[in-house]
Amino acid sequence: MIRYAKPTSIEAALALLGEGSWRILAGGTDFYPALGNRPPREDILDINGLGELRGIAETPDQVIIGARTTWTDLICHDLPAAFDGLKLAAREVGSVQIQNMASIAGNLCNASPAADGVPPLLTLDAAVEIRSTASSRFLPLDRFILGNRRTALQPGEMVTAIRIPKPSTAGTSAFFKLGARRYLVISIAMAAARLVIADGIVKQAAIAVGSCSAVAKRLTGVETALRGIAVADIATAIATAELSELAPIDDVRASAGYRREAAREIVTRAVLAAADPPSANAVAA
Partner 1 sequence: MSARGEIVFTVNGSAVTVSAAPVQRLSSVLRDELRLTGTKVGCDAGDCGACTVLLDGEPVCACLVPAASVAGAHVRTVEGLGNGRLSALQASFLRHGAAQCGICTPGMLMAATALLERNPHPAEDEVRDALGGVLCRCTGYRKIIAAVMDSARPGSGLDLGLPPAGHAVGASPIRLDGIAKINGTEKFGGDSFPADALALAVIRSPHHHARFAFGDLEAYQAEHPGIVDIYTAADIPGENRFGVIPPFADQPALAEGSTRFRGEAVAVIAGEPDAIASLDLSAFPIAWTELPALLDTETAQTGDAALLHAGRPGNLLTQGFVEHGDPEAALAAAAHIVSDMIETSYVEHAYIEPEAGFAHMDGDTLVVTACTQAPYMDRADTARLLGLPPEKVRIVPTATGGGFGSKLDLSVQPLVGLVALKTGRPAALCFTRDESMTSTTKRHPAAMRATIGADAQGRICGMVFSGDFDTGAYASWGPTVANRVPVHASGPYVTPNYRALGRAIHTNGPISGAFRGFGVPQATICQETLYDALAIKAGIDRLEFRLKNALRNGSETVTGQLLEEGVGIADCLEALKPHWQRALADAGRFDAENGHMKRGVGVASCWYGCGNTSLPNPSTIKLGISPEGQVVLHQGAVDIGQGSNTVIAQIAADALGVPLTLIALRSADTAITPDAGKTSASRQTFVSGKAAEKAAKSLREKILRFANVSDHAALSLEGCLLIIREGDATRRIGLSALTPDADGLVFTAEETYDPPTAPLDAKGQGTPYAVFGYGAQIAELEVDLKLGTVKLVKITAAHDVGRAINPLLAQGQIEGGIAQGIGMALMEEYIPGRTENLHDYLIPTIGDVPPIETILIEVPDPEGPFGAKGLGEHVLIPTAPAILNAIRHATGVPVTKIPATPSRIRAAIREAGR
60 binds partner 1 (CB under 8 A): no
182 binds partner 1 (CB under 8 A): yes
51 binds partner 1 (CB under 8 A): no
3-state secondary structure the chain: CCCEECCCCHHHHHHHHHHCCCEEECCCCCHHHHHCCCCCCCCEEEHHHCHHHCCEEECCCEEEEECCCEHHHHHHCCCCHHHHHHHHHHCCCCCHHHHHHCEHHHHHHHCCCCCCCHHHHHHCCCEEEEECCCCEEEEEHHHHEEECCEECCCCCCEEEEEEEEHHHHCCEEEEEEECCCCCCCCCCEEEEEEEEEECCEEEEEEEEEECCCCCCEECHHHHHHHCCCEHHHHHHHHHCCCCCCCCCCCCCCCCHHHHHHHHHHHHHHHHHHHHCCCCHHHHCC
253 binds partner 1 (CB under 8 A): yes
Nearer to partner 1, 2 or 201 (CB): 2
141 binds partner 1 (CB under 8 A): no
95 binds partner 1 (CB under 8 A): yes
List the one residue from 192, 209, 262, 271 that touches partner 1 (CB under 8 A). Answer: 262
Among the listed ranges 33-41, 77-85, 209-217, 234-242, the one in contact with partner 1 (CB under 8 A) is: 33-41
27 binds partner 1 (CB under 8 A): yes
Nearer to partner 1, 39 or 60 (CB): 39
Residues forming the site for partner 1 (CB under 8 A): 1-4, 6, 25, 27-29, 31-33, 36-41, 44, 46, 48, 72, 91, 94-98, 100-101, 178, 180-186, 188, 252-255, 257-258, 261-262, 265-266
